[in-house]
Amino acid sequence: MRTTASSLKVAAALVLATLVTAGCERPPIDEVQSGYRGTAMVQVYNPRVLAEQATHNVVPAALPAAAEGGPLAGTIYQNVQVLGGLSIGEFTRTMTAITAWVVPKDAAAAEAGCNYCHVGANFADDSKYTKVVARKMLQMTQKINADWKPHVQATGVTCYTCHRGKPVPEYVWFKDVDNTAAGGLGNRAGQNRSTAAINGASLPSDPFTPFLLGAEPIRFTGATALPTGNRKSIKQAEWTFSLMTHMSQGLGVNCTYCHNSRAFNDWSQSPPQRTTAWYGIRMARSLNNDYMVPLTDVFPAHRKGALGDVAKLNCSTCHQGAYKPLYGASMLKDYVTALAAPIPPPAVAPPAEAVPAEGEAAPAPAAPAVTSSMSDAQVSKRQPG
Ligand code: HEC
Ligand code: HEC
Ligand code: HEC
Ligand code: HEC
């Protein structure tokens, strides 16, 4: 009896040990100090995970530069609304590049290649939704690179940053369906649903709807020790922690990459990365509202979420587990002409009758094209705090 009891104990201890360490990673683990000495601002890395990550972040070679000169695409093609100001060579190069970035021949799509967006040889036809989406995507990419420099710097993004050779980027999100407890017993706020986007935490599973679509306040720390006029709740803190968990996971970093854990709220003790992240939150929110949501009716039902909403982006869509997408490699530098900013359309020759007769006053020049600027009121240049 004795032996059985003690071997049972051993077995139980083994099971317990397995359960306790199941969430741990096999050593050795690397540590890198990222803050002042003694502030415990340390990054913990797993070299095996990093090696695996590196294989997902190989940058494809740039296409050879296009031949200089030639007519502008807008003057020879029928239906170019965004890229019309490119030379014909650069236009064709851009079409070849987006095909390789979004629907290469080996992509798991029925019609990979040009025909993923185009109908046979009629390239001007807009009847495929993918082409309408792609036009908006061209504008979104130009917008990010031109107006969100406080986040993306000169590194910028291309279609590949999000798509990586797939028509649907690997990391997108939809509104959470299941916000109620079984049997209709109250609202569980998406809790205990353990989704991958928040690293399996039992926090509210969809922090994206309030923070990356809506503009709910993320900061909840009161300004005074006692709750004087401060109505911030534990519930609110849980939503914030859910977003923070996503941000850490999306970038493959610890909380201390952006915070000094002795004062999470204090900007003066936070590294500059936190300010970059502040802009990242505003950028993701504005891209979702200004580019993704307006495409809702363009996407077919099978591309939408259970609540009929369009796929949206979060930090992982670009970062994919790296502190900078593609570990900071800039693909944009080889596609500046097409993707760095909105391209002025080709100047249209005035129709013959508009040409002023000799002696007549020339018509006033057209107003210069409005260049998009960071008009978004939320994106003030001031230091957040
Ligand atoms: C991911 C979608 C997508 C893929 C793949 C794609 N295109 Fe396009 N194509 C577009 C969009 C969007 C436009 C319109 C651009 C604009 O409005 O400025 C366009 C326009 C064109 C036009 C101008 C047609 C006209 O008369 O208006 C040509 C030519 C063209 N593409 C050729 C190609 C070729 C060749 C390929 C394959 C190497 C290709 N495209 C792959 C999205 C795509
Ligand atoms: C910031 C991230 C991001 C960038 C940059 C980006 N896309 Fe997208 N793209 C998305 C998301 C999110 C979707 C929605 C996924 C879906 O189709 O359900 C999408 C969808 C698409 C689709 C529809 C695919 C389908 O089968 O439904 C096309 C085509 C596309 N993008 C082309 C492009 C092109 C071309 C570029 C570059 C000019 C580009 N994208 C840049 C995030 C991005
Ligand atoms: C990539 C940078 C980044 C990472 C990683 C990060 N945070 Fe944050 N955190 C921020 C930013 C930016 C804000 C302020 C957001 C805003 O105001 O829009 C913030 C706000 C907070 C707040 C609210 C502070 C206040 O003033 O009330 C807490 C608490 C917090 N983070 C905790 C965490 C925890 C815990 C983790 C790890 C799970 C984490 N953060 C990871 C950038 C980060
Ligand atoms: C449209 C793509 C895109 C999205 C979406 C995005 N980022 Fe970034 N992010 C970038 C690029 C590109 C860089 C690299 C800029 C550079 O070279 O300094 C970057 C850099 C950063 C850095 C600076 C890292 C460092 O070590 O200097 C932080 C922090 C960051 N992003 C946080 C976030 C957070 C948090 C989110 C989600 C709320 C987010 N990003 C969403 C593209 C994106």
Residue whose token pair is 């980027």: 169
Q: Which of 4-18, 28-42, 226-240, 274-288 has the highest mean pLDDT?
A: 274-288
27 pLDDT band (50/70/90 cuts)?
A: confident
Ligand 2 centroid to Cα of residue 169, in Å, is: 7
277 lines ligand 3 (CB under 6 A): yes
Mean residue pLDDT across the chain: 84
- Give nearest CA residue, ligand 3 atom 20: 219
Which atom number of ligand 4 is nearest to the Cα of residue 162?
A: 2
Residue 116: per-residue pLDDT: 95
pLDDT at 99 over 50: yes
Residue 216: per-residue pLDDT: 92
pLDDT at 373 over 50: no
Higher pLDDT: 319 or 34? It is 319
Residue 47: per-residue pLDDT: 87
Residue 19: per-residue pLDDT: 47
211 pLDDT band (50/70/90 cuts)?
A: very high
Distance (Å, rounded) from C-alpha 245 to C-alpha 254? 9
| Torsion angle defined by CA atoms of residues 70, 74, 78 and 79, in that order, rounded to the nearest 10 degrees | 130
pLDDT at 266 over 80: yes
Ligand in nearest proximity to the CA of 110: 2
43 pLDDT band (50/70/90 cuts)?
A: confident
Per-residue pLDDT tens digits for 149-193? 999 999 999 999 999 999 999 999 999 876 555 555 666 667 777
Ligand 4 centroid to Cα of residue 331, in Å, is: 15
Cα first-last separation, the chain: 67
Q: Within 6 Å (CB) of ligand 4, which residues are found?
A: 144, 151-153, 155, 157, 161, 247, 251, 273, 276-277, 280-281, 284, 313, 315, 317-319, 323-325, 328
Tell me if 135 sits within 8 A of 331, measured CB to CB. Answer: no
The percent of residues in the chain predicted with pLDDT above 70, rounded, is 79
Residue 336: per-residue pLDDT: 97
Distance (Å, rounded) from C-alpha 239 to C-alpha 206? 8
Ligand 4 site-directed mutation target among 141, 324, 326, 379, most atoms within 8 Å of CB? 324
Q: Please give the angle made by the CA atoms of 338, 343 and 345, to the nearest 5 degrees.
A: 125
296 pLDDT band (50/70/90 cuts)?
A: very high
Quick one: average pLDDT of 109-118? 87
Nearest one of 95, 86, 82, 94 to 68, comparing CA atoms: 86
Ligand 2 centroid to Cα of residue 155, in Å, is: 19
Residue whose token pair is 């050795």: 28
